[in-house]
């Protein structure tokens, strides 16, 4: 019972969604419309759940004094600060429980939530991924060694695209006459992107798409049920 009813739910809901695509008559489109609005609310709770479990996990690490617990404590403190600021005074145009907090905004220049967002969240988030620029540079030097025909093909394309998408490409072959404009590196890079690249990406899309159709079908029919978790 604990397992079969959810499977029936998934089946019914999935089938109604499928039917409503092809049968435009009521009641199907109305049911699906209601379902879509519910979906949004339930997903809201799902995200709530995800964030709460994350914080609970961190709190456990602190409670059990696991290695690096001090850093997790810093994480927890920043979580609490941001949450309280957000709930009390809201963010940007949205008022919070205590209104817009004009007093504190006058002091900070913006709402406290936005202040933290701009001066802590934004630089952290943006910097984390910019680290990869350095790693790509060192990988370029140490790992991108041409070996077989296939990796040659990859590297040659990469070089054309890397040059073609900058001003260097424009300067390098800008002198070519109109009749040879195909060989102008930016044009060549665009050609590669538009045709061979699109073809390969399309093949990937098609085969991955079939995979998604297949796994969705298995979920609706109840063949695939791993999402329900272990047998209990």
Contacts to other proteins from residues 112-171, by CB under 8 A:
113-146, 150-151, 153-168, 170-171
User: Three-state secondary structure along the chain?
Assistant: CCCHHHHHHHHHHHHHHHHHHHCCCCCHHHHHHHHHHHHHHHHHHHHHHHHHHHHHHHHHHHHCCCCCHHHHHHHHHHHHHHHHHHHHHCECCECECCECCHHHHHHHCCCHHHHHHHHHHHHHHHHHHHHHHHHHHHHHHHCCCCCCHHHHHHHHHHHHHHHHCCHHHHHHHCCCCHHHHHHCHHHHHHHHHHHHHHHHHHHHHHHHHHHHHHHHHHHHHCCCCHHHCCCC
Interacting residues with other proteins between 178 and 207 (CB under 8 A): 182, 186, 189-207
Q: Does 176 bind other proteins (CB under 8 A)?
A: no
63, 98, 180, 217: residue in contact with other proteins (rule CB under 8 A): 217
Nearer Cβ to other proteins (86/101) = 86
Size of the site for other proteins (CB under 8 A): 168
41, 64, 178, 231: residue in contact with other proteins (rule CB under 8 A): 41
Interacting residues with other proteins between 56 and 95 (CB under 8 A): 56, 58, 68, 71-72, 74-83, 86-87, 90-95
Say how far residue 110 (Cα) sits from the centre of its chain. Answer: 28
34, 63, 99, 180: residue in contact with other proteins (rule CB under 8 A): 34
- For the chain, give the longest Cα–Cα distance: 75
Q: Does 44 bind other proteins (CB under 8 A)?
A: yes
Nearer Cβ to other proteins (35/98) = 35
CB of 154 to other proteins, least distance (A): 4
Q: Does 172 bind other proteins (CB under 8 A)?
A: no
CB of 170 to other proteins, least distance (A): 6
63, 98, 180, 209: residue in contact with other proteins (rule CB under 8 A): 209
49, 63, 98, 180: residue in contact with other proteins (rule CB under 8 A): 49
CB of 118 to other proteins, least distance (A): 7
Q: Is 211 exposed, middle or buried (0-12, 13-18, 19+ CB in 10 A)?
A: exposed
């Amino acid at each position: 019972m604990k397992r079969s009813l959810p499977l029936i739910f998934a089946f019914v809901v999935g089938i109604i969604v499928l039917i409503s695509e092809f049968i435009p008559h009521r009641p199907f489109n109305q049911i699906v419309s209601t379902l879509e609005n519910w979906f949004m609310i339930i997903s809201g709770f799902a995200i709530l759940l995800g964030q709460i479990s994350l914080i609970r996990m961190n709190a456990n690490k602190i409670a059990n004094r696991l290695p690096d617990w001090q850093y997790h404590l810093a994480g927890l403190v920043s979580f609490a600060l941001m949450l309280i600021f957000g709930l009390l005074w809201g963010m940007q145009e949205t008022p919070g429980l205590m209104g817009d907090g004009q007093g504190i905004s006058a002091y900070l220049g913006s709402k406290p939530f936005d202040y933290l967002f701009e001066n802590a969240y934004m630089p952290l988030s943006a910097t984390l991924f910019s680290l990869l620029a350095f790693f790509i540079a060192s990988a370029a030097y140490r790992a991108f060694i041409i070996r077989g025909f296939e990796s040659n093909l990859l590297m040659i394309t990469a070089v054309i695209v890397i040059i073609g998408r900058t001003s260097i490409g424009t300067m390098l072959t800008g002198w070519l006459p109109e009749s040879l404009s195909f060989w102008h590196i930016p044009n060549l890079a665009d050609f590669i992107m538009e045709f061979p690249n699109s073809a390969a990406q399309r093949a990937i899309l098609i085969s991955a798409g079939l995979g998604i159709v297949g796994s969705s079908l298995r979920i609706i029919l109840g063949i695939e049920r791993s999402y329900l978790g272990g047998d209990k």
